[in-house]
Amino acid sequence: MTTPLLCQREAFSLPDDAHYLNCAYMGPLPKVAEEAGVAAIAKKRLPTRIVPPDAFWETDRLRALFARLVNVDDPQRVAIQPGVSYGVACAAKNLPVSSGQNIVMTHEQFPGNVYAWRRLAAESNAELRVATPPEGPGRAAVWNERLLDSIDSRTAIVAVPHVHWTDGTRFDLEAVGRRCRDVGAALIVDATQSVGAMPFDVQTIQPDVLICATYKWLLGPYALAFTYFSPRFDDGVPLEETWIARAGSEDFQRLVDYQDEYQPGAIRYDAAERSSFFLAPIAAASLELLLEWTPERIQIYCAELTKELLGEASALGYSVEDAAWRGSHLFGLRMPEGIDLVALQLALKTENISASLRGTALRLSPNVYNNQKDIEALMGVLSSAVR
Ligand SMILES: Cc1ncc(COP(=O)(O)O)c(C=O)c1O
């Protein structure tokens, strides 16, 4: 039995009266990560304190921490990149697709995992297939069925999220992974909206590529992402030919002994200047916290925190997806008939509640720093809105 996680608000610098329920937009920086960042910046006052090779290889610690979080055996399978679009572009560059084949996605995916596939489909005369959700009850379960049905013997690539960024709908990636392996398709997963707050196991899902930006649920900095590449990509071509990804780059005396060989695993897909002296210590401090809290306990914390709220909201006519098919850290609250959305938005602002209105659903994305006061403030607004 796992020990339940208590509220971790003390680990953050959120003002008392800020009801921040918007981690899906951006995660707040924990205090230890902020301190690590300030120390990292101060280091550059005197560049001799940033000493090769150690400082350049600090990112190896990041690979190891992220690998532990998502259950990857070999940290060298993790590339250090600047964002999701970059990882998707690496995947698209190395996946052959021919005319008559198809690329499968879900409806209204975040654009960082869309444009590269649109280009690849257009350039190779392949079909772009989008699995759409139905309206009404059972929406997520049927959406998942439709996603599986879209994958056939002509599918070359399945590029999907783990949970949908607008409303937290969960895609059963174990089932999607099995289907991909049956038909020989590559599975590319953008888990930016789940990893950190929800368990993700690379050994069970077996994606070919798994990409996570760090600035949301990994509570890290902007302009940094981790991308796991399976052995399928071992002989691939990176977007950039960085010197640091070449064999022997540790030896700064011999950098002009140009090498054809790359560093092992996925390191060839690292972006230029991946050593990120400023960003890496911030991301590492947050990853260490997440490994201590664990995604499993964070999910449970969010579920417990919102259980009563969702019961009361449903009595007022609000509705939410079945818990089995959504994140507890990210979900859309659908409005009852006749709600004045403009007034609702204003009331949220007045009460200092941060959440995103997406169409006619309110996207709520709590985390370990949220407490009962946040929930009460939100419940106050939701009940006033139906009066
Ligand atoms: C699901 C998802 N993927 C990716 C991103 C960010 O993409 P990029 O790193 O390419 O800016 C976001 C940002 O909201 C997101 O919600």
Q: Does residue 14 have a pLDDT over 80?
A: yes
- Beta strand extents in the chain (DSSP E only): 19-20, 78-81, 102-106, 127-131, 155-161, 186-190, 209-213, 225-229, 331-334, 353-354, 356-358, 361-364
**DSSP code, position 154:** T
> Can you give the pTM of this predicted structure?
0.97
106 lines ligand 1 (CB under 6 A): no
Q: How confident is the model at residue 56 (pLDDT cuts 50, 70, 90)?
A: confident
Q: Scan for tokens 């002994």, then name that residue.
A: 257
Q: In CATH terms, is domain 38-292 a member of 3.30.413.10?
A: no
Q: How confident is the model at residue 2 (pLDDT cuts 50, 70, 90)?
A: confident
Out of 10-14, 132-136, 229-233, 327-331, which region has the weakest mean confidence (pLDDT)? 132-136
Distance of alpha carbon 315 from the chain centroid: 32
In angstroms, rounded to a whole number, what is the distance separating the alpha carbons of residues 105 and 99?
17
* Top-confidence residue, 49 or 378: 378
In angstroms, rounded to a whole number, what is the distance separating the alpha carbons of residues 281 and 271?
17
Look at ligand 1, atom 16, and give the residue with the nearest C-alpha. Answer: 165
In angstroms, rounded to a whole number, what is the distance separating the alpha carbons of residues 105 and 141?
16
- pLDDT over 70 for what percent of the chain? 99
Out of 53-57, 108-112, 169-173, which region has the weakest mean confidence (pLDDT)? 53-57
Q: How far is CA 139 from CA 129, 202, 235, 323, in A?
A: 19, 27, 40, 12
Which tens digits make up the pLDDT trace of 221-232? 999 999 999 999
* Top-confidence residue, 255 or 1: 255
Which tens digits make up the pLDDT trace of 104-141? 999 999 999 999 999 999 999 999 999 999 998 899 99
CATH of the domain spanning 9-21+294-386? 3.90.1150.10
Q: Please report the pLDDT score of residue 127 as a whole number.
A: 98
**AA identity, residue 260:** D
Q: Does residue 370 have a pLDDT over 90?
A: yes
> What is the distance in A from the centroid of ligand 1 to the CA of 90?
16
* Top-confidence residue, 359 or 214: 214
Q: Does residue 316 have a pLDDT over 80?
A: yes
167 lines ligand 1 (CB under 6 A): no
Q: Does residue 344 have a pLDDT over 80?
A: yes
Q: Please report the pLDDT score of residue 182 as a whole number.
A: 98
Would you state the torsion angle of the CA atoms of residues 157, 158, 161, 162, taken in this order, to the nearest 10 degrees? -120
165 lines ligand 1 (CB under 6 A): yes
Look at ligand 1, atom 14, and give the residue with the nearest C-alpha. Answer: 25
In angstroms, rounded to a whole number, what is the distance separating the alpha carbons of residues 326 and 311?
16
Average pLDDT over residues 63-84: 98
27 lines ligand 1 (CB under 6 A): no
25 lines ligand 1 (CB under 6 A): no
The alpha helices in 108-211, defined as continuous H runs, are 115-124, 139-150, 173-183, 202-205
Q: Does residue 360 have a pLDDT over 90?
A: no
The residue ranges of every structural domain in the chain are: 9-21+294-386, 38-292
CB 167 within 8 A of CB 139: no
> What is the distance in A from the centroid of ligand 1 to the CA of 213?
7
Residues in the chain, total: 387
Q: Please report the pLDDT score of residue 237 as a whole number.
A: 98
Distance of alpha carbon 241 from the chain centroid: 26
Mean pLDDT of the chain: 96
